[in-house]
Amino acid sequence: MTFSGRASGLLLHPTSLPGNCGIGDLGEAAYRFVDFLVASGQQVWQVLPLGPTGYGNSPYLSYSALAGNPLLINLEWLVADKLLEQSELDALPAFPVYQVDYDGAIACKMPLLKKAAQRFLKVAKPERLASFKSFCQSQAYWLDDYALFMALKSANNGASWYDWDEAIATREPQALAKAKSQLQDEIFFHQYVQAEFFRQWSTLKQYANDNGVQIFGDIPIYVAHDSVDVWAHREIFQLDEEGQPEAMAGVPPDYFSETGQLWGNPVYNWEELQATDFKWWIQRIQGMLNYVDLMRIDHFRGFEAYWSVPGGEKVATNGEWVEAPGAEFFEILQKTLGELPIIAEDLGVITPEVEALRDQFGFPGMKVLHFAFDSGPGNPFLTFNHGLNCVVYTGTHDNNTTLGWFAERDQEAKGRVYDYFGGEPPEPINWALIRMAMSSVGQLAVFPLQDVLDLGGEMRMNTPSEAEGNWGWRYAAVQLTPERISRLKHLTTLYGRLPQPQD
């Protein structure tokens, strides 16, 4: 991790920002959140995957590993560029303040983005046109397939790629050429939207970096079955002739589920990836570096061995562990791109082999305090068992908020937490755990914004294994109060996590 000393930060996905169209966006509220981070002494903004989402709205099931979510585009920038009229924004309906309305956001934003794209070629200044062309050329290795994929998905009424006409599903060259010719306008639209997302995100990232805040991104180890990555690179996934998974990803029974978690993503054909020196994966990591300063690899343990469930199974129970060539991959990655700011998500069923892989490359792991109190002093999540090279969390996006987590514990379980504080702490439990994480020797401490805002379990971001009702929480700008800035800044100062002066 690239800090001169200890550091801390907040976890907030951009969909949770305030915004006028039913969803957070990359407009004014995003910059004010960076200001909140700076004022409270934070050096990191952690986000979830930024890609376009499908059914269930999960950022971990995106249509592309490298595209940005069009719903995050701030429309006010397009008014300033004379691509939209202010009256078109003024006519938008009112949306809930504290909840994302995905359907409403799609219904209001996508038609306006289409209007902007249609006007772009007519009114854009030469330098903007040149910038757009440069973006399309530099990102062609993923953008060309993505724009065609999304155009085809639209032409097929949203159907998954494996249900398209066989010639298109199997990417026969003549069929692809015909589709590109017929769908030129729709292809351009998706190219334009990605260029605009990249422009807005890059500007926001630069603002954060200029103010001493690093963006901490997230790479899901697997990609969605219905994604351009699988459609365009079938050979690197374990699929049958119909394009269905021969083996699916998941995890065995664990803390979150008695039957394990069956994610349904196709697992990799690691032999094919090895034969290409992991080209697809290296391009993916390289592309992510355009968006983030640090990156967490979700389900890192899958690089050592992955849980493989036969295609057609309904639960994850009947799977098996299969070894993966993680060490070989990270060696080639390091030779190709150099030392990288990777954090390993090493939660769940972790073996000595997984820890050895993590430590071989010096990747920091994760320590989650919600897991710390129920198995005695040997529990690795207790702060006195932390090492320097780790990221410490109160909870993550997959956990309840700290207030929600504590409310669900019975009196005996609450007592075990109080024991570590020498009795009931004089501050709310969410702030007691923030203090505990701050005091860890771990180099970086990160807290979900919900914990700083004193929010209960009804505001949690995600409940693993539940397909619907997730990813909807938003905050309002009025919640970022001077009192919370002061409280967070005090703890950041007290435990030595303020930014250090640069020589």
Indicate which residue of 25, 145, 304, 345 is catalytic.
Answer: 345
Q: What is the DSSP letter of 211?
A: T
Contact 291, 246 (CB under 8 A): no
User: Helices (DSSP H) in 91-220: which residue ranges?
Assistant: 102-123, 126-138, 140-155, 166-169, 173-182, 184-210
261-266 and 247-251 beta bridge pairing? antiparallel
298, 304, 346, 451: which is the annotated catalytic residue? 298
Contact 23, 72 (CB under 8 A): yes
Q: What is the rounded CA–CA span in Å between residue 29 and residue 431?
A: 25
- Active-site pick, 145, 293, 398, 451: 398
CA separation for the pair 41, 496 (Å, rounded) = 10
The Cα 218–Cα 60 span in angstroms is: 9
**How many whole angstroms separate alpha carbon 267 and alpha carbon 8?**
34
Q: Looking up tokens 């699916």, which residue turns up? A: 248
Please compute Rg for the chain using Cα positions. 23
**466 catalytic per annotation:** no
Handedness of CA 70, 73, 78, 84 (dihedral sign): positive
Which of 386, 380, 402 has its CA nearest to residue 450?
A: 402
By C-alpha distance, which of 394, 308, 398 is closest to 348? 398
Task: Read off the DSSP letter of residue 276.
Answer: T
Using DSSP, state whether 27 is helix, strand or coil.
coil
**Residue for token pair 């030779």:** 335
According to DSSP, residue 472 is labeled -
Contact between 132 and 125 (Cβ < 8 Å): no
Of 316, 326, 377, nearest to 348 (Cα)?
Answer: 316
- Asked about 185 being catalytic, the answer comes back as no
CA 52 to chain centre: 11
**Burial call 443-475: b when 16+ CB within 10 Å, e when fewer:** bbbbbbbbbbbebbbebbbbeebeeeebbbbbb
Total residues belonging to the chain: 503
- Strands in 329-381 per DSSP E: 342-344, 365-368
Report how far residue 66's alpha carbon sits from residue 194's, in angstroms, rounded to the nearest whole number: 10
Q: Which residues are tagged catalytic?
A: 298, 345, 398
